[in-house]
């Protein structure tokens, strides 16, 4: 209780958001070109965020500040890579992902500090199939542009029922 009261008095959030707060639509196309034992792949996608109207935010001491209409930047994304089968259960992959982020606008004007960004990530991964229903995928992402995180690690365990 004491920590929550301190956070509230400092204007800090009491819980983390679970999304961006905007509806979005993301069409994309993926291509695969098998050339045993390698599979080349690529992906193109575009994420459009729909604007939100009558947006406001809570400020220190519980007041509301109207922000009007907010339109976050769209994202164009391209990725290419290849996967190499080591045997019938294991594979490794290498790829590159480039994202182009647009600027954010508030009431039709660019938000101060908002800028177009280019994010590039080198992806190195591996996959192991435990059974017909379970596998594990591991990916290490290394940021190659200034605004990209230096490193990301993703572990997935997809399960089919």
Residue 5: DSSP 8-state: H
Q: Are 40 and 82 in contact (CB under 8 A)?
A: yes
Q: Are 136 and 127 in contact (CB under 8 A)?
A: yes
36-86 per-position pLDDT tens digit: 889 999 999 999 999 999 888 877 777 788 889 999 999 999 999 999 999
Which pLDDT score, from 0 to 100, does residue 149 have? 93
Residue 14 has pLDDT above 90, yes or no: no
Which pLDDT score, from 0 to 100, does residue 9 have? 55
State the average pLDDT for the chain: 89
Which pLDDT score, from 0 to 100, does residue 12 have? 65
Which pLDDT score, from 0 to 100, does residue 24 have? 94
Tokens of 132: 């017909």
Residue 51: DSSP 8-state: P
- Show the DSSP H helices in 47-122 as ranges: none
79-109 per-position pLDDT tens digit: 999 999 999 999 999 999 999 999 999 998 9
Which pLDDT score, from 0 to 100, does residue 2 have? 46
125-140 per-position pLDDT tens digit: 999 999 999 999 999 9
Q: Are 117 and 147 in contact (CB under 8 A)?
A: yes
Residue 7 has pLDDT above 90, yes or no: no
Q: Which of 118, 102, 98 is nearest to 47 (CA)?
A: 102
* pTM for the full predicted model: 0.76
Residue 48 CB neighbours (<10 A): 13
pLDDT-derived band at 10 (thresholds 50, 70, 90) equals low
- Name the E strands within 86-159: 90-101, 105-106, 109-110, 117-129, 135-143, 151-156
């Amino acid at each position: 209780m004491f920590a929550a009261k301190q956070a509230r008095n400092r204007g800090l959030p009491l819980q983390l958001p679970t999304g961006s707060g905007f509806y979005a639509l993301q069409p994309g196309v993926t291509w695969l070109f098998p050339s045993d034992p390698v599979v080349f792949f690529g992906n193109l996608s575009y994420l459009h965020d729909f604007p939100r109207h009558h947006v406001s935010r809570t400020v220190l001491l519980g007041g509301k500040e109207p922000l009007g209409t907010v339109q976050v930047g769209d994202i164009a994304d391209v990725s290419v890579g290849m996967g190499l089968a080591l045997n019938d259960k294991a594979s490794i992959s290498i790829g590159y992902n480039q994202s182009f982020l647009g600027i954010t606008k508030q009431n039709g004007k660019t938000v101060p500090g908002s800028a177009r960004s280019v994010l590039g990530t080198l992806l190195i991964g591996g996959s192991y199939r435990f059974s017909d229903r379970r596998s594990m995928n591991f990916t290490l992402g290394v940021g190659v542009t200034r605004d990209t995180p230096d490193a990301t690690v993703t572990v997935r365990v997809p399960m089919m029922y």
